[in-house]
Amino acid sequence: MKEKKNILVSFSGGLDSTYLLYKNLLEGHNVSICYTEIENNSSKVIVEKFCVERIIEELRKDFPGHKITIIDRYNVKIDIVLSNNMCFKQILIWLLSLVYSTKTEIDEVHIGITMNDDINPYINDIKKIWKLYKKFYYNNEKFPKIKFPLYKTPKYEIVDNLPERYKKLVTYCEDPIIISQDNNIVEFKNCGNCNACKTYIFRNFRDIGCGQFNPPLKLAGIPSLSKGKKKKNDQQK
């Protein structure tokens, strides 16, 4: 068994970050979770929050003796868009959110970038940016390392190793269609037109159990994230 560590994971409710959480818990680590809410895409945020909550609930059932902590939920609004590729804008926001979430004892920060991701070739640049953020950290001597444990892992391996019950809860659509919602239930379907939807359809991930939200699935929310600590950061790019 590996040495037990306190690991902070950037979690979106997607396939990669869900598997990263599951893998860390399977290895016996304590896991803290940071979810960053990007307000510009309100429907995606609604779906992500519900999926995140359901996945965390399942993880707590499967790993009752493990510590799973939701540290913070950050609200961010991108006022000026300079790039058409959302993943490159998101990563900078995630990094800053992670810095402000490491005010407890964290040994490592993990981000679920896989072999197939467009941003994979820029991992060394991301590490350099992370080092620049060190000055914002409350204790420079204990600034945690950032790691990408899945950067050599292909998507199909994640699909093969993640249990079915989690695969059915992951979200991937960039522009989901909200059909109805109230305080506890959200009903939605995937758009089928965004790059993420097309990728999942092309790779047949949807046919083997990933994000089975078509037909629409009703998800019940859990108060832990919805009513958790909330911080607002308006960031211009």
Report the alpha-carbon angle 100-101-104, nearest 5: 115
Strand ranges (E), the chain: 6-10, 30-38, 68-78, 108-110, 145-147, 177-181, 185-189, 217-220, 230-235
| Token couple for 157 | 């391996």
Distance CA 231, CA 211 (A): 29
Q: Any residues with CB less than 8 A from the CB of 55 and at least 6 apart, and which?
A: 13, 18, 21, 166, 169, 170
Looking at residue 72, its pLDDT comes to 55
Looking at residue 58, its pLDDT comes to 93
pLDDT tens for the 237 residues of the chain, in order = 568 899 989 888 899 999 999 999 999 999 988 888 776 678 888 888 888 888 999 999 999 988 888 765 554 444 444 444 555 567 777 787 777 776 667 889 999 999 988 888 889 999 988 888 877 766 667 888 899 999 999 988 998 899 988 988 888 888 888 888 876 677 888 888 888 888 777 666 654 444 544 434 444 333 334 434 444 444 443
Nearest to 69 by CA among 19, 113, 25, 16: 25
Distance CA 171, CA 89 (A): 19
Angstrom CA distances, 187 to 106, 176, 182, 183, 212, stand at 36, 10, 9, 12, 13
| Token couple for 65 | 């003796």
Domains of the chain: 6-163 (3.40.50.620)
Q: Any residues with CB less than 8 A from the CB of 203 and at least 6 apart, and which?
A: 155, 156
* Angle formed by the axes of helices 15-26 and 42-62, nearest 10°: 20
Looking at residue 203, its pLDDT comes to 66
Looking at residue 55, its pLDDT comes to 92
